[in-house]
Amino acid sequence: MQTSNAFPHSLRAVIFDMDGLLIDTEKHLVRCWCQAAQEMGFDMQRRHALHIRSLAGKYAAPYLKSELGEDFDYFRVRERRKELVAQALAEYGLERKKGALELLKWLKEKGIRTAVATATDEERATRYLTEIGVLSYLDRVVCATMVENGKPMPDVYLYACRQLGERPQDCLALEDSPNGVLSAWRAGCGVVMVPDLTQPDEEIRPILTGLAPDLSAVIPLIEQMGQ
């Protein structure tokens, strides 16, 4: 487990989260989690949905049971949430986050490899990334379904590093949620947080390599840190 938040000495790759970072979907996920649970009689609030951003089901399910009752059916509620999110995306479309394409083009020009490490399954991740026009700029798409433990455990980032053929200490992760930040940090990557729905808290802030208001601001951050 990494104990340093230093910027990579030799930046070889940048690994992106997807929801809330490349795509503006977290607002739909949070709202639809609450709606799906409430439809089934559970008083799920925004704070619960924020807590489980990027959190693997094996960790999210017991957390929600502890908060909402032992009869909370995580997988049934999640299926309904998926339906509601699909409806929202059909209505509003997928929105690419500010600076995403600019940053990916810049990294490609610099010869820095790129990957996505997401909690979303491979079929939807590939479809979403294609729809927002960034898939061709990515060297790898890695999903939590490909590893034993999802975020906040380090597996998905370690696997992404192996797929890229790079050491974690030579990779920079970009994340918007605390669970994602912890996953990347535990893998040994430097982590820049680009907040979406929440700012870093007292637990997360000390382990960050950097903080950026949007993805376009990551470019000067990388230049300033030594790339």
Tens of pLDDT, residue by residue over 97-117, are 999 999 999 999 999 999 999
Asked if 104 and 137 touch (Cβ cutoff 8 Å), the reply is yes
Single pTM value for the model = 0.94
Looking at residue 190, its pLDDT comes to 96
Alpha-carbon dihedral sign for residues 56, 19, 158, 210: negative
| Nearest alpha-carbon partner for 60 in 42, 46, 45, 78 | 78
Per-residue b or e along 90-127, where b marks 16 or more CB atoms closer than 10 Å to that residue's CB: eeeebebbebbbebbebbeeeebbbbbbbbbeeebbbe
The pLDDT tens digits of the residues spanning 140-191 come to 999 999 999 999 999 999 999 999 999 999 999 999 999 999 999 999 999 9
Looking at residue 227, its pLDDT comes to 46
Longest dimension (CA), the chain: 52
Looking at residue 2, its pLDDT comes to 44
Helix (H) or strand (E) holding 175: strand 171-175
Predicted confidence (pLDDT) at residue 39 exceeds the cutoff of 60: yes
Phi, psi values for residue 138, rounded to 5° = -105, 140
Provide the annotated active-site residues: 17, 19
Asked if 12 and 171 touch (Cβ cutoff 8 Å), the reply is yes
Three-state SS at 34: helix
**pLDDT-based confidence at 7, cuts 50/70/90?**
confident
Distance in Å from the first CA to the final CA of the chain = 24
At 110, the amino acid letter reads: K
Query: Among all chains, which residue has been given the structure tokens 């910027």?
Result: 7
Q: Whole-angstrom Cα distance, residue 68 to residue 26?
A: 21
At 176, the amino acid letter reads: D
Name the E strands within 81-197: 113-118, 140-143, 171-175, 190-193
| Nearest alpha-carbon partner for 156 in 44, 70, 54 | 54
Asked if 222 and 188 touch (Cβ cutoff 8 Å), the reply is no
Looking at residue 226, its pLDDT comes to 67
**pLDDT-based confidence at 9, cuts 50/70/90?**
confident
* Angle, in degrees to the nearest 10, between helices 74-92 and 26-39: 130
